[in-house]
Amino acid sequence: MPAEATSRVLRLRVNGAPYEVHAPNRRTLVDLLRYDLGLTGTKEACSVGVCGVCSVLLNGRLVASCLLLACQADGGEVTTIEGVAGPDGELHPLQRSFIEHGGFQCGICTPGQIIAAKALLDENPAPTEQQIKQWMMGNLCRCTGYYQIIDSIKAVAHA
């Protein structure tokens, strides 16, 4: 089988920067981000899209990058945890809030938690605590007990 049949050139923007990457057709988005682009903030844990660790934004929409083929992001705009801070490196209010309110412990789930929380606040800048809990249900954490995560999001929400 010719190489062209098993791989392709993908053009996408990641965290505002343009990329052109030659990737196998079966490469997942999380693998493209981590291994081809060196953006290791996005993690992979469950590999079946239920834990939220691999959460990224694709064209502003929250997605599980372990389930998405990289070719599905071709032509799109991807935001990873590395793209949440400002261009000058200043932390996003959610990142600062997670630090101030102890919204992380081991840090494995933190990038996905912050990306999911950003998606929530982009869609609903003033969610109730119940709306936060419901939205964040797809992001699992084994360390914090969730209270600090909820507090971190509530502190940034415009109530």
Q: Give the pLDDT confidence of 76-121 residue by residue, as tens digits.
A: 999 999 999 998 999 999 999 999 999 988 889 999 999 999 999 9
pTM of the entire predicted model: 0.93
CA-CA distance, 12 to 30, in Å (whole number)?
14
Amino acid identity, residue 1? M
Rounded to 10 deg, the angle between the 110-123 and 93-100 helix axes is 130
Name every residue whose Cβ is closer than 8 Å to that of residue 126 and which is 6 or more positions away in sequence: 157, 158, 159
**Tokens representing 95?**
């990142």
Domains observed in the chain: 8-83 (3.10.20.30), 93-156 (1.10.150.120)
Q: Which regions of the chain are under pLDDT 70? A: 1-4, 159
